[in-house]
Structure 1
């Protein structure tokens, strides 16, 4: 009798354990998810992501990345048995192209883009979130890069490289970039010869990308809430006016019209020893090294308020096409080619500045006198806002700076007009 009672109790307990076990595995009896791309696991329960049977990928990127991508594709093929084909379409055009090509089924599976285009891609529904590799991506990359690729609290893209601006200088003309703008002005007093087109320093005065370092250094911003609130435009604040007023005063050391200053003119003067300091980005490193024997790179000079300038920065990343037939393989490749190993390879082959923290801190990168300065400046930069309203910043800013610089217009009035124009364009969707 006692044995029967305990036997019944044991049977009941066994049934209960089996029921609990089934519940803990979702009732399927297996921990394998039927759609790993849609429901990624994390932590100890992380399942291996495998490419789809018969997967083959196309990748869009700029022409200078072809050899790098083909080398990565070869290694990826060896590891996952998936063919990857390169097609040339630069990061500046890819997101717009994907808006039409993605839904049509002819877009690349993985494509390179710049973080400020994420708003466009998200609103069009053409990019997949970085879900499966999110934790690893966040932990191994620069916080600024992750911030830039996060949109509406969702991480999009797999960061591959970073960019910002700094000050190239000719060591035969000036020993180093002055610590502050007062030093720049004093140097200009001894170096400048406007009739001979000799200038101490030059930047694209009418280009908002090169204007913002001044405004940001005074505490101004484009959009509030870390660039996400289009209803809060901070370009006519007291701080912005102070920055624009300072820019206006620099006309005395660069007495040219905004239309007479562009990238080609700067490069021509710089490589002919008529320009001592040229504000630009790492994309110019190769050509400037060819034209200037003793090339150096320095951080921006401090502003009169004693604070550093804060240039815009851009983060290039690989994005996965939401319409790809092979989301698993695409995510695997985007993660694979942006690993520490391959970011270092891209730096060695093309000079791309790593977003990966370990790669950026490596001896290979830090021993490079150009890359190390740009990465240091990047840490004191502001990622360009990625909301669609950012498209309404560039033309109004160009017009405002033209009136401030060329026509000596009151900076407050010019910036008020700028903000009103931006608000109108954002409202009407222009």
Structure 2
């Protein structure tokens, strides 16, 4: 009798399991706070109308922090299903097994710019969902400086009239120890990182004659333009200087447009001035902001569907309206005074390399830029950076 009861119970349990409703998909999205947060919230609201069965929540994680966070939180089961980060992290993300490839990549990428495809691809496979194209440019306060300088020689000449160290007033500010901005002193003087295609670690060019020339020029700018220690020229300091009208110009990117608008600054955006011996704006680093689907997601198919929805024409048009950041799609045309300055600088921008050795560049050259700005020997500093690159795996 007991065997019959147990058998019946087992059958009932199996039946209930077989007919149980599938678990509702729940997705978590990581993206930076600020205007990007507004965009993601708009996407979540729009997606709910399209697919109400999927619950999507937003969690603020700065794009530059997302890779390190997914490496820890993903395996622990508490990471995001979709996260946003710059494209230069793609190599480490793929090699670490943290992200999933894009399904039907050729069809999906057909509407995106070549730059976006390059940034979203690693070792011939597309992993990223492009959200925005970005680089840094010259922002200038029109109430202080009605017309922006075209060359660094003009910046130096203007600094002689404008600078007042006692009042913390400087013609131009930028985070001098940040390798993202410092790169313009390499490529503009003829030292492209990892060679012309950005994929050969042996051609790092960190201590090449061209790099030494560019970083010597960089070092000489301290006394002429921004005579403060590298540690003091942080992003927060530079943003505050420009916001408070103590700096006439700042080199930064489209992620600051909304903040400066809210601060009521009458500003324009144009290309970074040309260096001596060149006849075009400075060469800068370009980035593609990408969404990735985590390989740890419990709902990978739903996450991929949301990522494609987030990067659709309609959503990226909305993103431009929310953030003023350039959509990387061919079928979206933007035209406003501020974004046009970024678009013009993008013509002279090189996508950041995606090989994992870029991580060594950030660490080694961050130290070099800081030390050189503060007076260290240029060649010695660059030789040390090169040695770190060559010793890295």
Q: Work out which of the two has the higher radius of gyration on C-alpha atoms and give 1 or 2.
A: 1
- SS of 1:140's equivalent in the other structure is coil
Q: Does residue 1:419 correspond to 2:379, yes or no?
A: no
Equivalent pair of 2:271/2:345 in contact (CA under 8 Å): yes
Distance 1:80 1:398 in 2: 45
Distance 1:391 1:99 in 2: 15
Distance 2:367 2:32 in 1: 31
Equivalent pair of 2:25/2:55 in contact (CA under 8 Å): no
For the structure 1 residues 116 and 84, does the alpha-carbon distance in structure 2 shift closer, same or farther, using more than 3 Å as the test?
farther
Distance 2:347 2:354 in 1: 18
Residue number among 71, 78, 82 corresponding to 2:49 in the alignment: 78
Shift of 1:152: 1.0
Structure 2 regions of 5+ residues with no counterpart? 1-21
For the structure 1 residues 301 and 66, does the alpha-carbon distance in structure 2 shift closer, same or farther, using more than 3 Å as the test?
closer
Distance 1:383 1:185 in 2: 28
For the structure 1 residues 378 and 86, does the alpha-carbon distance in structure 2 shift closer, same or farther, using more than 3 Å as the test?
farther
For the structure 1 residues 71 and 404, does the alpha-carbon distance in structure 2 shift closer, same or farther, using more than 3 Å as the test?
closer
* Alignment match, 1:395: 363
Q: Deviations over 1:193-214 (max 9, x none)?
A: 2333222112222221111112
* Alignment match, 1:59: 29
Distance 1:84 1:225 in 2: 45
- SS of 2:214's equivalent in the other structure is helix
For the structure 1 residues 402 and 94, does the alpha-carbon distance in structure 2 shift closer, same or farther, using more than 3 Å as the test?
closer
CA RMSD of aligned residues (A): 2.3
**Greater shift in the superposed pair: 76-85 or 187-196:** 76-85
Equivalent pair of 1:66/1:86 in contact (CA under 8 Å): no
* Alignment match, 1:39: none
- SS of 1:168's equivalent in the other structure is strand
Distance 2:364 2:272 in 1: 25
Structure 1 regions of 5+ residues with no counterpart? 1-51
Shift of 1:289: 2.6
For the structure 1 residues 66 and 294, does the alpha-carbon distance in structure 2 shift closer, same or farther, using more than 3 Å as the test?
closer
Shift of 1:357: 2.6
Residue number among 326, 332, 342 corresponding to 1:353 in the alignment: 326
Residue number among 317, 331, 335 corresponding to 1:344 in the alignment: 317
For the structure 1 residues 230 and 303, does the alpha-carbon distance in structure 2 shift closer, same or farther, using more than 3 Å as the test?
same
* Alignment match, 1:176: 147
* Alignment match, 2:80: 108
- SS of 2:103's equivalent in the other structure is coil
1:7-406 equivalences under 5 Å are 55-64=25-34, 65-88=36-59, 89-132=61-104, 134-224=105-195, 226-253=197-224, 254-291=226-263, 293-306=265-278, 307-359=280-332, 361=333, 365-366=334-335, 368-406=336-374
Return the TM-score normalized by structure 1: 0.79
- SS of 1:59's equivalent in the other structure is strand
- SS of 2:203's equivalent in the other structure is strand
Shift of 1:332: 1.9
* Alignment match, 1:12: none
